[in-house]
Structure 1
Amino acid sequence: MSNRNRSLAATLVLALAAAGCGDDGVLPPDGDVPGDDATGADADADAGPDIEAEGEVDPGAEVAEVSPDAAAWVEIVEPADGATVDNPVRFVVAAGGVARVRLFADDWPLGETWDPAVSTERSYTFTGVGYERHVELFGYDGAGAEVAYDDLRITVRGTATDPGTLVGTMWNTYYYFADEADYAGPDDTTLYDEACNPLARVPAEFSDDVCIEGSGRLEDGRVINYADTCSCGRPCPTGGIICYAALDPAEFPWGMGSRGNPLEPLRSWAVDNSFLPFGTVLYAAEWDGVAIPAVEGLGGFTHDGCFRADDVGGAIRDNHFDFFAGTAGMWRALERIFPTRSSFTVYRDGERCRYLAR
């Protein structure tokens, strides 16, 4: 929590105001949304039935008198900073030397201002879940000027929210990141870059697999990725000859997707971009709740069914998707859960999986 020092509250608020939290430090009229274009995940949930208070606050009531000598402070008592919480979220606040307070999450107001002397609690139901939210509490004096501040970060646990727009039924294959260390045999095959300069000598079987999978790791730690077709090197089992680009393994530990993006095991899909645009956030209902086994440093968690369209493939057409398993061992494990050519009910652009959006 960034401000527990009450004696510095007013100074901090003034600094925040100078940084863009209000040019004159005066509370905007209730209903105005400072710094928000009403496109946030919770834009449709402001106030209304999601806001609950312990006591009724008469909007015509007099503003509580605050001694000018009182040190202004506010504090979010609950939930704790960094907590993961369930909907609806119950906020408990404490305050002194202020007339009104107001809560915001990611710059979106969680209801109107209220008198903390009348009620110290508010409840709010978030529609955007599964990712970190920045919650702020502002305190105002009788003239409406910001005089105290506190904040924290919470994650609202995912719930049964709308999965998005139905895409339909899709069917799967798998691909993985080929690792030269897993292959025996002589280094009798040369891999080339786009200019037909040699990159490495590798076993022929590794050359075949990295050509099919599109990316892999050399024994010296370099990551290579499909660059283009070319005229040099060993023909790929699926046809044509492939040349490669060497990537920074720190930036692309699992290879590169179709738009220069890092691939993410157990989250990235290769799709037909005429069927699903690049970057589309996806929800596959059948994967939700599946225990992913711990294999070769991956997995060991319960999947939430959320994926992203990160890649393309030469054989990927229409409602066919290629699931990036990460390693050959994980691919074999996933085949035992959902074999190749299994069918899945897929949705797109839902709040449930919005946290994966790039």
Structure 2
Amino acid sequence: MNLKTKIISVLIGLSAYSFAQDSSGEFHFPEPETTALSTPLSLWSTQYYIHEFRSGGAIPIVYANGESSGLFADTCDFCTASLEGTAYVTDSLGTITVINFAKSGDSSFVDCRACKKYASSKLKVESWGKTLWTKSEGFGDGVKNYRLIPFRTIAVDKDVIPYGTVIYIPKAKGKIIELPDGEQVTHDGYFFAGDTGGAIKKNHIDIFTGIYSGNPFSDVIKSNEGKTFEAVIVTDATIINALTEMHTK
């Protein structure tokens, strides 16, 4: 059984509701009526995904309450998990634990600049080594008790896009995506503001892609603040309620 199959098997047990969302019908909301659109936005986007690794190395994964998880990471795995916010960690028995960023502690477990790919990063790498975790399930947790949903959840600056907002991105509509269960569907362009991040400021959004680390929205995800696209805030209650229910635990 390959790692992806193991992940799906484990997650079906942990979070059946998350996999109910994998049906193609959940991505077939109709194009919004003009009357169901509100504030126009000019945004730029990055993406984040679930980092997968095997427990090992010398750096402990410690929960926010101070308890040890019994899991360990090397420098790059720990720091990449901190950056992405969620990780699947496989132990020696093949059991997968879902860990989620909880908060930054007072002391550092590791210097993330020691990982070559972050040595010259302009991000606040130093804070990543202080990460404390919480045990999660499914695809991990966002803000306000929302669950993360692949290809639906976005991290936002709440002062620009309030949590719980639904936005419509025309350039995302029609893109073919592969859901965690392997089904390929056509995206309808709607996203839900259910998460945040330390680097997500002003008109920057971060699109969550689950276990998929490729770029499913190449016309949208440019990772360049100068490469903006248009989006609008949706006011259609039917779509807002559906995406809110999908994200609420």
Q: For each residue in 1:149-181, what CA deviation from the matched residue of structure 2 results, as whole angstroms up to 9, or x when unmatched?
A: xxxxxxx97255235113321000011111114
What are the residue-to-residue correspondences of 1:260-339 with 2, within 5 Å? 260-292=145-177, 294=178, 297=181, 300-327=184-211, 330-334=212-216, 336=218, 338=220, 339=222
Query: Higher RCO, 1 or 2 (CA under 8 Å, sep at least 6)?
Result: 2
Structure 1: which amino acid aligns with 2:53? E
Q: Where do 4+ consecutive residues of structure 1 move more than 6 Å?
A: none
- TM-score of the two chains, using structure 1 as the length reference: 0.50
Does the CA contact (< 8 Å) of 1:307 and 1:353 recur in 2?
no
Identity in percent: 24
Which of 189, 202, 217 is matched with 2:88 structurally? 217
- TM-score of the two chains, using structure 2 as the length reference: 0.69
| Richer in helix (by share) | 2
Q: What's the counterpart of residue 340 of structure 1?
A: 223
Q: 1:204 to 1:296 in 2, by over 3 A?
A: farther
Which of 101, 109, 120 is matched with 1:233 structurally? 109
Q: What's the counterpart of residue 193 of structure 1?
A: 63
Does the CA contact (< 8 Å) of 1:212 and 1:236 recur in 2?
no
Measured in 1, the distance between the counterparts of 2:172 and 2:218 equals: 13
* SS in structure 2 of the partner of residue 226 of structure 1: strand
Q: Aligned pair 1:258/2:146, yes or no?
A: no
Who wins on radius of gyration, i.e. which is larger? 1
What are the residue-to-residue correspondences of 1:1-358 with 2, within 5 Å? 158-159=30-31, 161-162=33-34, 163-181=36-54, 186-199=56-69, 200-219=71-90, 220-230=95-105, 231-236=107-112, 238-240=125-127, 241-247=130-136, 249=137, 253-292=138-177, 294=178, 297=181, 300-327=184-211, 330-334=212-216, 336=218, 338=220, 339-341=222-224, 342-351=227-236, 353-354=239-240, 355-358=242-245
Q: 1:161 to 1:318 in 2, by over 3 A?
A: same
Measured in 2, the distance between the counterparts of 1:317 and 1:335 equals: 20
Structure 2: which amino acid aligns with 1:176? Y
Q: 1:159 to 1:168 in 2, by over 3 A?
A: closer
Q: 1:350 to 1:288 in 2, by over 3 A?
A: farther
Does the CA contact (< 8 Å) of 1:171 and 1:319 recur in 2?
yes
Once the two structures are TM-superposed, the CA of residue 198 in structure 1 deviates from its matched residue by 2.2
Once the two structures are TM-superposed, the CA of residue 356 in structure 1 deviates from its matched residue by 1.5
Measured in 2, the distance between the counterparts of 1:157 and 1:228 equals: 35
Q: 1:296 to 1:159 in 2, by over 3 A?
A: closer
Once the two structures are TM-superposed, the CA of residue 335 in structure 1 deviates from its matched residue by 6.3
Q: Compute the RMSD of aligned alpha carbons.
A: 2.6
Measured in 1, the distance between the counterparts of 2:29 and 2:47 equals: 29
Unpaired runs of 5+ in structure 2? 1-24, 114-124
Once the two structures are TM-superposed, the CA of residue 195 in structure 1 deviates from its matched residue by 3.6
Structure 2: which amino acid aligns with 1:286? K
* SS in structure 2 of the partner of residue 326 of structure 1: coil
